[in-house]
Amino acid sequence: MSTAETTASGVGPVEGSGELSGYSPDNPAPVIEPPRKRTKKTPKSTRGNFEMAAWLFMRLSGVVLVVLVIGHLLIQLVLDGGVSKIGFAFVAGRWASPFWQVWDLLMLWLAMLHGANGLRTVINDYAERPNTRLWLKGLLYTATVFTILLGTLVIFTFDPNIR
Amino acid sequence: MPAGTLYRGREGMWSWVAHRVTGVLIFFFLFVHVLDTALVRVSPEAYDTVVATYKTPVVALLEYGLVAAILFHALNGLRVIAVDFWSQGPRYQKQMLWTVVGIWLVLMIGALYPVLGHAAREVFGS
């Protein structure tokens, strides 16, 4: 048996409610600040929205990469004799067109950043000691910057008449 | 050991594992691939010599594996986007995974001849 007073709706009487509470539109109850509201005293967040931006970037770059990479695989491995036709002359022919230069440049940047962010997540998940995380991420970022710069340089300075 | 305490996951967990593994493998290949392409700035001969290894039967098998990893990662990535952004996504995540596996299988059968044909001719004679 229930000992508490209950109303038909199943909600018990609320203390301080009703006409005896003393509060009215002319005499409102004092405002209680929501516990997690940001005020002037709240320390400034140092992290910003980086993780959310990274999450969104993975999805946006992913959609673009599906098109760029599958197109790349078709051209390099499937059409016109597959891998057998690839050589310096084939590369020179494709990079003679700005369209394919932009295609490859965009693919390089998006794939490297997408992959680097993926590996950053993997390191965060499995490397537990702060020192290990620091070194692995340092290695990752160094290799990523190096590869993006090298690839960009190669696309922009490619010379079909190198010899 | 009490029964049923070891979490073996289901479609959701195993697709997550496969997405990670394929992602890491593709990223490592990407480093190598940018480096080998950079040889076009050294000399045509240097580039053609390295690309010749890409045409050997053993590496052709690795290329087929690369295609497998990329196609799964691409298709499952689209499924992840659907789970995140489509209101019915989480409800249909299993059906979408089996759709991904189905499309992947069809594409892998389609890639068999273009990617491995030249290797088969070399190994078994044409």
Q: Looking at the domain assignment, is residue B8 inside a domain?
A: no
CATH code at position B57: 1.20.1300.10
Q: What is the mean pLDDT of residues B2-22?
A: 84
Q: What are phi and psi of A24, to 5 degrees?
A: -155, 175
Say if the Cβ atoms of A78 and B54 lie within 8 Å.
Answer: no
Q: Give the per-residue pLDDT at A14.
A: 60
Q: Looking at the domain assignment, is residue B3 inside a domain?
A: no
Give the whole-number percent of chain B exceeding pLDDT 90: 80
Q: Give the per-residue pLDDT at A17.
A: 55
Amino acid in the structure at residue A63: V
CA distance B81 to chain A (A): 6
Q: What is the mean pLDDT of residues A103-110?
A: 97
Q: Looking at the domain assignment, is residue B2 inside a domain?
A: no
CB pairs under 8 A between A and B: 102
Handedness of CA A19, A22, A26, A27 (dihedral sign): negative
Give the whole-number percent of chain A exceeding pLDDT 70: 85
Say if the Cβ atoms of A157 and B41 lie within 8 Å.
Answer: yes
Q: What are phi and psi of A29, to 5 degrees?
A: -65, 150
Contact A62, A104 (CB under 8 A): no
Contact B38, A44 (CB under 8 A): no
The contacts of residue A94 (CB under 8 Å, 6+ apart) are A75, A100
- Its domain, for residue B115, covers 13-124
Between CA B53 and CA B49 the distance in angstroms is 7
A2-6, A33-37, A121-125: least confidently modelled range: A2-6
Q: Looking at the domain assignment, is residue B5 inside a domain?
A: no
What are the residue boundaries of the structural domains of chain A, listed by start? 50-157
Q: Residue A116 has which token pair?
A: 């680097």
- A21 vs A12, A28, B31, B98, CA distance in Å? 16, 10, 71, 60
Closest chain B residue to A156, measured at CA: B41
Q: In this model, does residue B35 exceed pLDDT 70?
A: yes
Q: How many angstroms from the chain centroid is the CA of residue B63?
A: 9
pLDDT tens digits, residue range A34-48?
777 777 777 776 667
pTM beyond 0.90, yes or no: no
Say if the Cβ atoms of B20 and A83 lie within 8 Å.
Answer: no
Q: Give the per-residue pLDDT at B80.
A: 96
Higher pLDDT, B17 or A41: B17
Closest listed residue to residue A88, CA positions, set A1, A161, A23: A161
For A59, the closest of B34, B63, B84 (CB atoms) is: B84
Q: Looking at the domain assignment, is residue B93 inside a domain?
A: yes
Contact A151, A101 (CB under 8 A): no
User: With an 8 Å Cβ cutoff, is B85 touching chain A?
Assistant: yes
Say if the Cβ atoms of B118 and A82 lie within 8 Å.
Answer: yes
pLDDT tens digits, residue range B39-49?
999 999 999 99
Architecture, CATH, for domain A50-157: Up-down Bundle (1.20)
Determine whether A32 is exposed, middle or buried from the number of CB atoms within 10 Å of its CB (0-12, 13-18, 19+). Answer: exposed
Q: Looking at the domain assignment, is residue B117 inside a domain?
A: yes
Q: In this model, does residue A4 exceed pLDDT 60?
A: no
Hey, how many other C-beta atoms are within 10 angstroms of the C-beta on A70?
A: 17
**How many folded domains does chain B comprise?**
1
Between CA A142 and CA A125 the distance in angstroms is 20
- Extract long-range pairs of A142-149: CB within 8 Å, 24+ residues apart: A143/B31, A144/A112, A144/A113, A144/A115, A144/A116, A147/A112, A147/B30, A147/B31, A147/B34, A147/B35, A148/A108, A148/A109, A148/A112, A148/A113
CA distance A7 to chain B (A): 38
Closest chain B residue to A63, measured at CA: B78
Q: Given the structure tokens 């995380």, which residue do they identify?
A: A133
